[in-house]
Amino acid sequence: MTTDRTIAGILFDKDGTLLDYVKSWVPVNYEVATIAANGDAALARRLLLAGGMDPDTGHVTPDSLLAAGTAAEIAAGMVAAGAPYTVEALTEKFDGLFANSAAYAVPVTDLAAFFADLHAKGYRLGVASSDNERSIRGTAKRFGFDTYLHYVAGYDSGFGVKPQPGMVHGFCAATGLQPHQVAVVGDNNHDLHMGRNAGAGLTVAVLTGTGSPQSLAAASDHCLNDITELEAVLV
């Protein structure tokens, strides 16, 4: 792609970036723990704590398993903490739950209009998430921005997992861009470190997830309240 702007492509995280994490995922996390505990309420509380979430307040620790892990990573952590399943069986349960949860997600803005505007301005657009690809595509379709995406990658799409650079390199391969032309946008250090590891031209943190200005400062070039402030830092 020929462009006179430094940043020509934007690779977004999904949860906590396009979707409000607290509204979309805290209720799901309670269900995750209930499933993993096989209905044992005391064990469910312990599993939430192991995953990085306070079972009483719903606060999720930045960069914890529930904040940034894949279904397989969350399953492994919960099995290690006492969940009575194999990692493989629990991963399958979580993948199904997460895919269905797209129907209850809460966006941080009108995502169809947001992506349409960026697309009209010539940006190449993608989503790279620690969730599974089915869930990402379901979310994009539900909120009407699927037709604007040039690339989708979940933890199960074959590009590796965050903070490895593979998802960014896959985006570049799909769009013809170089890493220095790409902005990576996310709410956790897993996202930002992925961008840095890939040589991305810009790493942008947003505060609609579990991260804080303090936790995100070291790995981000900019820290924004949400994605609606993004265009101001792309020029």
In the prediction, which pLDDT does 103 show? Answer: 86
Half-sphere exposure (Cβ direction) of 118: Cα atoms closer than 13 Å: 29
Q: Using 50, 70 and 90 to split pLDDT, how confident is the model at 122?
A: very high
Half-sphere exposure (Cβ direction) of 175: Cα atoms closer than 13 Å: 30
Give the whole-angstrom CA distance, residue 37 versus residue 100: 20
> Which residues are CB-contacts of 98 (< 8 A; sequence separation ≥ 6)?
28, 71, 131, 132, 135
In the prediction, which pLDDT does 102 show? Answer: 84
In the prediction, which pLDDT does 3 show? Answer: 41
For 157-191, the pLDDT digits (tens) are 999 999 999 999 999 999 999 999 999 999 999 99
CATH H-level superfamily of 9-20+106-234: HAD superfamily/HAD-like (3.40.50.1000)
Three-class secondary structure of residue 190 per DSSP: helix
> Which residues are CB-contacts of 88 (< 8 A; sequence separation ≥ 6)?
75
Q: Using 50, 70 and 90 to split pLDDT, how confident is the model at 7?
A: very high
pTM for the model stands at 0.90
Residue 124, beta-bridge partner list: 9
Question: Average model confidence (pLDDT) for the chain?
Answer: 95
In the prediction, which pLDDT does 58 show? Answer: 96
pLDDT at 2 over 80: no
In the prediction, which pLDDT does 5 show? Answer: 57
Give the whole-angstrom CA distance, residue 114 versus residue 96: 28
Q: Is 209:188 a contact under the CB 8 Å cutoff?
A: yes
CA torsion, ordered 28, 218, 77, 38, to nearest 10 deg: -10
In the prediction, which pLDDT does 1 show? Answer: 34
Q: Quote the percentage of the chain above a pLDDT of 90.
A: 95
222-224: strand order across its sheet: 151-153, 124-128, 9-12, 182-186, 202-206, 222-224
Domain boundaries, the chain: 9-20+106-234, 22-104
